Structure 1
Amino acid sequence: MPMSAEEIKDIIRSALPDAQIEIQDLAGDGDHYACQVISESFRGLTMVKQHKLVYDAFGGRMGTELHALSVKTKVP
């Protein structure tokens, strides 16, 4: 079953409680999303490490429950 935008926000927020999160459903199918995540937790980290924090929040769900997630990260 596809994941909703709200579920994605909840998963990211569980790992990054201070995050400001915007989600966009790219294909309208609930399976391809883009997100922008703004968090103080990213300060001092490389872009790769920032993205890893976001992807790690999904555990084994990436590629199964959620097919594709494009991530943009920022520090406030």
Structure 2
Amino acid sequence: MPMEASEIERMIKTALPDAEVFITDLAGDGDHYRAQVISEAFRGKSRIQQHQMVYAALGGHVGGVLHALALETAPPETA
């Protein structure tokens, strides 16, 4: 059973409450998504650490129910 984009967003925002999350269904099949996540929690972290934080938020669903996830992460830009 595919994972809904709203569920992905909910799980990420539960772990990273300040996050801005943008989910795109890449194939229209509920299995291949792109997630753009912006959170202050990423500041000072490497890209790998940022991605690990998102994967942890998804609780092991990546590679299972959620077949593929292209991730873009960043802290908010400061003016």
Quickly name the TM-score band, shorter chain normalised. over 0.9
Q: How far off its partner does 1:61 sit? A: 1.4
Which ranges in structure 2 are unaligned for 5 or more consecutive residues? Answer: none
Which ranges in structure 1 are unaligned for 5 or more consecutive residues? Answer: none
How far does the alpha carbon of each residue in 1:10-36 deviate from its partner, in whole angstroms, 9 at most, with x for none?
010111010000000000000000010
Query: 2:28 is paired with a residue of what secondary structure?
Result: coil
TM-score, with length taken from structure 2: 0.92
Residue 31 of structure 1: aligned partner: 31
TM-score, with length taken from structure 1: 0.96
Query: 2:60 is paired with a residue of what secondary structure?
Result: helix
Off by >2 Å, runs of 4+ in structure 1: none
Q: Which amino acid aligns with 2:58?
A: F
Q: Which amino acid aligns with 1:30?
A: G
Q: Distance in 2 between matches of 1:58 and 1:18?
A: 16
Q: Distance in 2 between matches of 1:7 and 1:59?
A: 12
Residue 57 of structure 1: aligned partner: 57
- The sequence identity of aligned pairs, in percent, is 58
